[in-house]
Amino acid sequence: MRFCVRLILISALLLLSSSSFVFAQSYPKVVELKVEGNQQVDANYILSVVGVKVDQPVDKEQLDKDVEAIYNLGFFSYVDVRVEPVEGGTRVVYVVQENPVVKEIRFEGNEVYSEDELKELVFTKPGNIFNSVFFRHDLERIRNKYQEDGYAMMRVQDVRIEDGVITVKILEPKVGEIAIQGNEKTKTYVIEREIKLKPGDHFNAKVLRHSLNKLQKLGYFETVNVGFEPTEDPGLVNIVVSVEEQRTGRIGLSIGHGSSSGWSGGLSYEDTNWKGLGRTASVGFETGDREQYWITYEEPYMDTDYYSWRINLYKWEWDDIENYIGGEPVFEYEESRTGISIGAGKKFKRDP
């Protein structure tokens, strides 16, 4: 039994060796290189990427590499090789099938940019043979355009080529729901109004990043983080904004002494997020020669539709105020004032 197995193995090895020998002996060297099937792509251009050379023996491994190299030129949908015995040696024939000539390029699903704007980024033009390598670069330029403008979630969903018509399907994800979590004091609408992305808008990372920076600068939160939740619809993405609140109320105490004014002191309280409304409330007083009291309530937020406003009630009682001329005190006076000040502001839309 062992003898039979050894005999079979030896026979197989001899068969393989003889096949290689027959291949080498049947086609001792290459005498001609040829291309078949090309109509518009020049044969010399195709042969410039092959490794098999005339007057060299046929190399099966190199033939496989040549097929791959020709296919990587991007002009062909099919590439094969045929080895033929001829007088004096071997003829190597590379058989190709060219891609169709481009008739038209269409885009589907694009809303951020028009079809004309996208076509300006595409170097593939009607009338030329479709080249898969060149077109990959075209798609990369389109992706880069979206990325640079903040549309980071955009992707090319599909590319179809039928009868020379190239159809590119683009997915531009939109904002689904925006969830706010972690806020206990701050009203949810105070956070939402700072987020310029709204449900239904195309997702834009630059706009979202700017909004998160504005939230952080309010001074209401220790941290502001964002996360994303996928949905059943690949064209929608849910945004989750998580905040960790910090103290916004501050107490101020001041004590001073002047050679002419004597002792003075004051106490104040300010909250920049009064009752979580995003408004500033402050009250305080100072005593001494310059006695004053105030109450201020302010809405600092404004946009093109929302007014900011400020109300301030105050009272001054200033005694023994010295008036100086040339650095020398000339006379003293007293000043007493009670009043209210009201102000408002609003952003205006810029003309396009």
What's the pLDDT score for residue 238?
A: 96
**Claim to verify: residue 195 and residue 125 sit in the same structural domain:** no
Q: Are 124 and 138 in contact (CB under 8 A)?
A: yes
Q: How does pLDDT run across 99-153, given as a tens digit for each residue?
A: 999 999 999 999 999 999 999 999 999 999 999 999 999 999 999 999 999 999 9
Q: Is residue 10 part of a domain?
A: no
What's the pLDDT score for residue 21?
A: 36
Burial of 7 (0-12, 13-18, 19+ CB in 10 A): exposed
Which of 145, 171, 197 finishes a domain? 171
Which of 69, 98, 127 finishes a domain? 98
**CA 326 from chain center: how many Å?**
63
**Claim to verify: residue 178 and residue 139 sit in the same structural domain:** no
Q: Is the pTM of the predicted complex or chain greater than 0.85?
A: no
What's the pLDDT score for residue 12?
A: 39
**How large is the average pLDDT for residues 168-179?**
96
What's the pLDDT score for residue 47?
A: 96
**Claim to verify: residue 113 and residue 142 sit in the same structural domain:** yes
**Claim to verify: residue 141 and residue 200 sit in the same structural domain:** no
What's the pLDDT score for residue 264?
A: 78
Contacts of 349 (CB under 8 A, 6+ apart): 304
Neighbours of 335 (CB within 10 A): 10
Which of 216, 245, 274 finishes a domain? 245
Least trusted range by pLDDT, from 30-39, 47-56, 299-308: 299-308
Least trusted range by pLDDT, from 143-152, 243-252, 311-320: 311-320
Q: Are 195 and 204 in contact (CB under 8 A)?
A: no
Q: By residue range, what is the domain housing residue 63?
A: 29-98
Q: Are 83 and 59 in contact (CB under 8 A)?
A: no
**Claim to verify: residue 236 and residue 271 sit in the same structural domain:** no
Q: Is residue 350 part of a domain?
A: no
Least trusted range by pLDDT, from 15-19, 141-145, 199-203, 323-327: 15-19
Least trusted range by pLDDT, from 3-12, 270-279, 320-329: 3-12
What's the pLDDT score for residue 259?
A: 59
Report the CATH number that the domain containing residue 118 is assigned in CATH.
3.10.20.310
Residue 19 has pLDDT above 60, yes or no: no
What is the number of structural domains in the chain? 4
Least trusted range by pLDDT, from 6-20, 37-51, 268-282: 6-20
What's the pLDDT score for residue 180?
A: 96
What's the pLDDT score for residue 11?
A: 41
**Claim to verify: residue 338 and residue 254 sit in the same structural domain:** yes
Residue 143 has φ and ψ, to the nearest 5°, of -60, -45
Helix intervals (H) in 99-239: 115-119, 132-148, 188-192, 205-217
More confident residue, 330 or 345: 345
Q: Is residue 5 part of a domain?
A: no
Residue 37 has pLDDT above 90, yes or no: yes
Task: State how far the Cα of 153 lies from the Cα of 147, in Å rounded to an integer.
Answer: 8
Q: Is residue 270 part of a domain?
A: yes
Residue 318 has pLDDT above 90, yes or no: no
**Claim to verify: residue 265 and residue 331 sit in the same structural domain:** yes
**Claim to verify: residue 320 and residue 253 sit in the same structural domain:** yes
Residue 74 has pLDDT above 80, yes or no: yes
**Claim to verify: residue 117 and residue 94 sit in the same structural domain:** no
Q: Are 132 and 100 in contact (CB under 8 A)?
A: no
Q: Is residue 65 part of a domain?
A: yes
More confident residue, 24 or 351: 351
Q: What's the mean pLDDT when you consider all of the chain?
A: 87
Q: How confident is the model at residue 14 (pLDDT cuts 50, 70, 90)?
A: very low
Q: Are 170 and 206 in contact (CB under 8 A)?
A: no
What's the pLDDT score for residue 331?
A: 60
What's the pLDDT score for residue 22?
A: 39
Q: Is residue 49 part of a domain?
A: yes
Q: Is residue 18 part of a domain?
A: no
Q: Is residue 9 part of a domain?
A: no
Residue 9 has pLDDT above 70, yes or no: no
